[in-house]
Amino acid sequence: MLTVQNALQTSVVCTFVLFLKLLFSNLYLGHTKNKAGTRVAEDTYQEQGGNLTADEHERRKEAQDRAQRVVSNDLENIPIGLLVAWGSFDAISYSVVAMGNELEAAIGAFIALLAVFTGCRVLHTAMYMSGIGLARSLVYLISILSLLGLVILSMYAAFK
């Protein structure tokens, strides 16, 4: 039997996974900036790109640009995703009595939708870093649809 505790556990684990994903993306961006030699002046104490050929510099700059787009995309999508997820959790947990027999189904839907969103965000980053375009777009669409599902679930719970 699924309980509100299971929904809370899922929320905490998914938040942790997304935090680690954001941390990894930001650290990777710093790494690519370092390799491309584009760190800010006060960070020149760190080893930088050095004497690179024009082709190598361009390749490293492209890697940095890709990493920057990953971080930007994360910052556009993950905060609102977590806000929607925790709002959905609140709506369900405050509607326990009103939902009655439908509570377990709502919790199951919540867990599934949040797991899909989290998995899609991790896959999206892996595909972005690998340059896989079409599949990345599909994964992005699925993540947005899972958030839409969470919003609908929240509305249902709030007005039950």
C-alpha–C-alpha distance, residues 62 and 101, integer Å:
54
At residue 34, the pLDDT reads: 86
The pLDDT of residue 54: 78
CATH-assigned architecture of domain 4-32+63-158: Up-down Bundle (1.20)
In this model, does residue 49 exceed pLDDT 80?
no
- The answer to whether the beta carbons of residues 99 and 155 sit under 8 Å apart is no
Tell me which of 41 and 47 has the higher pLDDT: 41
The pLDDT of residue 36 is above 90: no
Q: Could you tell me the residue ranges of all domains in the chain?
A: 4-32+63-158
Residue 16's Cα: distance from chain center in Å? 10
Are residues 117 and 147 in contact, defined by beta-carbon separation less than 8 angstroms?
yes
pTM score above 0.75: yes
* pLDDT at residue 42 greater than cutoff 90: no
Please tell me what DSSP assigns to residue 51: S
Burial class (CB in 10 A: 0-12, 13-18, 19+), 7: buried
Convert the pLDDT of each residue in 85-139 to its tens digit.
999 999 999 998 888 899 999 999 999 999 999 999 999 999 999 999 999 999 9
Interatomic CA distance for residues 124 and 96, integer angstroms: 34
pLDDT at 127: 96
Q: Are 136 and 70 in contact (CB under 8 A)?
A: no
CB 58 within 8 A of CB 51: no
Alpha helices in 44-102 (DSSP H): 54-94, 96-99
Q: What is the pLDDT of residue 97?
A: 87
